[in-house]
Amino acid sequence: RGAASAGHSKVPADGAFMDQALGLAIHGVRGANPLVGAVAVGRDGKVLASGWHRGAGTAHAEADAIANAARGGIDLTGATMYVTLEPCNHTGRTGPCAQALIAAGVSRVVYAIDDPHDAASGGAGTLRAAGIDVIGGVRAGEATELNRQWLGAVAARRPFVTLHLAQTLDSRIAAEDGTSQWITCPESLADNHAIRARIDAILVGSQTVAVDNPRLTARTEDGQLADHQPLRAVMGLREVPDDAAVRGDDGRFVHLRTQDPAAALSRLFDQGVRHVMVEGGARIIAAFLSANLVDELIVYQAPTILGSGKNAVTDLGVRTLADAQRWTWDESGGGAVRRLGCDLRLHLAPAAH
């Protein structure tokens, strides 16, 4: 570890080529694996080949670039490979990329951030031992932001948790008669669906399924299913009816028969989930908050007041102001405060305890 902080590039073009690799990385799909892009550049500064990782089980970015070069009859001897993550050192579903780079004859490897996954890390050392010039830390901030949730999940060995709340000014998520559609504007709903389309799983309580019968799919503004559908996870001890919409017909449904958020997260992590969005109901929200298992809060704040109804957050055991849960405004990923139609979208991260 620590290899990425070892050296800072003095080659001006390194940043620009890393930007290209970052631009390719985003074509991948999030999930069990990170988004990674790679660009191979010849001694004359011309791009020879490029590639990106398309998701768990498929070729890694460097391997994809090497394969693309081979397909075009392009020799990578003496080339520089730019890659947004430290090349892996292990044989997982694929790999190891460090060996593939050595075999391809590249003379220099520039990468952005260290691989925090213990099983895969160490590629930088392997490359150096083979006489390759290796530099880490180029565009590290951008690469970290790109895989923020994945990096957090791997470090914590549980999925990164986004908590979603759509509430009134007095923090209600449903009126006394149970009506909750729609507290927020269509713009907020569209934003929520855009998030659904890039996360690995949505989690709700079995009580919410019984009451609301949600579909939990990611839909575009014209109501079509988005290309990527998150796993639909229900937790809790209530049975999920056979005809519940959440079951769907694509096999992307799981019922976690537990009331313990940590246990639910552990099960999801084992299934390859690295980013989950918790969407309610109140009991599940309180359980995740009191267990300090929320990494990010996204609140769609509607300009309405109910005065009665269901509270978004129920008793967390806090009895005095000094014990309040503290959150900070998070400017990353869409900003801390944004107008969305008639609503405000608030983005927060837990304050360091």
Interface with ligand AOF by CB under 6 A: which residues? 33-34, 36, 53, 56, 60-62, 85, 87-88, 92-95, 97, 115, 117, 120
Q: Which long-range contacts (CB under 8 A, 24 or more apart) does 211-215 make?
A: 211/178, 211/281, 212/180, 213/244, 213/245, 213/246, 214/245, 214/246, 214/279, 215/245, 215/246, 215/248
Residue 239 annotated as catalytic: no
| 3 versus 299: smaller Cβ distance to ligand AOF | 3
Chosen from ligand AOF, Zn ion, none, partner binding at 33 (C-beta under 5 to 8 Å by type): ligand AOF
104 part of the interface to Zn ion, by CB under 5 A: no
Which residues, 6 or more positions from 147, have their beta carbon under 8 angstroms from its beta carbon?
34, 35, 85
Could you say which of 28, 37, 51, 95 contacts Zn ion (CB under 5 A)? 95
The CB-of-274 to ligand AOF minimum distance in angstroms stands at 9
Chosen from Zn ion, ligand AOF, none, partner binding at 219 (C-beta under 5 to 8 Å by type): none
The CB-of-88 to ligand AOF minimum distance in angstroms stands at 4
| 111 versus 288: smaller Cβ distance to Zn ion | 111
Q: Kindly state the greatest CA–CA separation across the chain.
A: 70
The CB-of-115 to Zn ion minimum distance in angstroms stands at 9
Give dist(CA 236, CA 258) in Å, integer: 5
SS3 state of residue 174 = strand
117 part of the interface to Zn ion, by CB under 5 A: no
Give dist(CA 306, CA 225) in Å, integer: 33
The CB-of-47 to Zn ion minimum distance in angstroms stands at 20
| 32 versus 336: smaller Cβ distance to ligand AOF | 32
Residue whose tokens read 């990329």? 97
Among 153, 159, 34, smallest CA distance to 97 is for 34
| Residues lying near Zn ion in the complex (CB under 5 A) | 60, 88, 95, 97
Catalytic residues: 62
